[in-house]
């Protein structure tokens, strides 16, 4: 279906045209939805205008022109700025009962706080709906989406979320989707580190490291990480990126804080968070999130006082 043959569904606003936002916006447009967009860096908006999107000058202008607002931005502060800031969504009058679907990855506590403030200020209803799967899955409409909010709000959001994802799970009240995403990112971040270390070990051992995924297929070690991420890491094919290292590093810091807040001592999560912080600190903030193996290669060429086994 072309963007020209629009459905009679709700007018959609989309704030945040990053890697994932661009792909999700294009998916909605391809399915016939009218979409009004805004992004902090205006040049990113140009990526979706040829597909039929309409540009707005601010998040408030997006909200004024649409029925449901979707949001996919970098972190807690960016969500707050886009919703409650001077030119934010909540500045628009007559938003009572308007639905906001936050596709960003932020903390559960921030979700509950921002949703309460947006409800008081503008009568906004809120669903947290962080996503997983990467830009290719977003274009195909096969994302995994974990949600939090009321059953009534979920029913209204369902047609849009079902357009974007093939696995949409309502995990509970506000913040439950973000809690599930914390756990998702714990697996992803530690998994990317693990796949990098496995690749390095397989290469050093002298076997045909390319054959490892097929060799281990069906066994207990098999996984999407092994089948999809390990080959990318082993081949060092990191372009185009499926995500940015700064984003995953931010998420791993959130995993570490969430674990500590819940009284859990998780050394593996701590180490994975440290690995990503070091990689971003080395100047790789905008590198592909799976390219963490480059940190190991840099350390190997420049020995550092990292801990060693006795």
pLDDT in tens, 146-192: 999 999 999 999 999 999 999 999 999 999 999 999 999 999 999 99
Q: Is residue 58 part of a domain?
A: yes
Res. 306: pLDDT tops 70: no
Q: Is residue 7 part of a domain?
A: no
pLDDT at 240: 94
Are residue 48 and residue 147 in the same domain, yes or no? yes
| Identified catalytic residue from 181, 250, 307, 308 | 181
Q: pTM for the full model?
A: 0.93
Q: Is residue 130 part of a domain?
A: yes
pLDDT at 152: 97
Q: 207-232, pLDDT tens digit by residue?
A: 999 999 999 999 999 999 999 999 99
Average pLDDT over the chain reads 95
Overall domain count for the chain: 2
Are residue 199 and residue 218 in the same domain, yes or no? yes
| Alpha-carbon gap, residue 170 to 59, rounded angstroms | 27
Are residue 167 and residue 183 in the same domain, yes or no? no
Task: Indicate the pLDDT class of residue 3, thresholds 50, 70 and 90.
Answer: very low
250 catalytic per annotation: no
Q: Is residue 40 part of a domain?
A: yes
Q: 283-302, pLDDT tens digit by residue?
A: 999 999 999 999 999 999 98
Helix (H) or strand (E) holding 14: strand 12-15
Are residue 80 and residue 22 in the same domain, yes or no? yes
| CATH classification at residue 264 | 1.10.1040.10
Task: Indicate the pLDDT class of residue 303, thresholds 50, 70 and 90.
Answer: low
User: Rg of the chain over CA atoms, in angstroms?
Assistant: 20
Q: Which domain holds residue 265?
A: 179-301
Is residue 102 within 8 A of residue 71, CB to CB? The reply is yes
């Amino acid at each position: 279906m072309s963007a020209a043959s629009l459905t009679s569904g709700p007018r959609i606003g989309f704030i945040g045209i990053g890697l994932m936002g661009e792909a999700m916006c294009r998916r909605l447009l391809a399915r016939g939805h009218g979409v009004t967009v805004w992004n902090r860096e205006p040049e990113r908006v140009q990526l979706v205008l040829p597909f039929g999107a309409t540009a707005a000058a601010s998040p408030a202008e997006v909200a004024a022109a649409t029925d449901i607002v979707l949001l996919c931005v970098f972190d807690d502060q960016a969500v707050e700025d886009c919703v409650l800031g001077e030119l934010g969504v909540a500045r628009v009058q007559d938003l009572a009962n308007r639905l906001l679907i936050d596709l960003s990855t932020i903390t559960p506590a921030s979700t509950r706080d921002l949703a309460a403030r947006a409800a008081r200020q503008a009568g906004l209803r809120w669903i947290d709906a962080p996503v997983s799967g990467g830009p290719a899955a977003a274009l195909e409409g096969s994302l995994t989406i974990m949600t939090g909010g009321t059953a009534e709000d979920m029913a209204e959001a369902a047609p849009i979320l079902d357009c974007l994802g093939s696995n949409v799970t309502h995990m509970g009240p506000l913040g439950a989707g973000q809690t599930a995403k914390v756990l998702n990112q714990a697996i992803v971040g530690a998994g990317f580190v693990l796949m990098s270390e496995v690749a390095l070990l397989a290469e050093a051992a002298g076997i045909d490291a390319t054959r490892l995924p097929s060799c281990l297929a069906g066994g207990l070690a098999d996984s999407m990480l092994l089948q999809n991420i390990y080959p990318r890491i082993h081949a060092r094919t990191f372009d185009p990126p499926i995500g940015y290292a700064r984003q995953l590093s931010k998420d791993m810091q959130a995993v570490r804080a969430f674990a500590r807040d819940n009284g859990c001592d998780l050394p593996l999560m701590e180490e994975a968070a440290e690995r990503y912080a070091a990689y971003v600190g080395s100047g790789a903030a905008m590198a592909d999130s799976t390219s963490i193996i480059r940190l190991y290669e840099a350390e190997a060429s420049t020995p550092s006082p990292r801990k060693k086994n006795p």
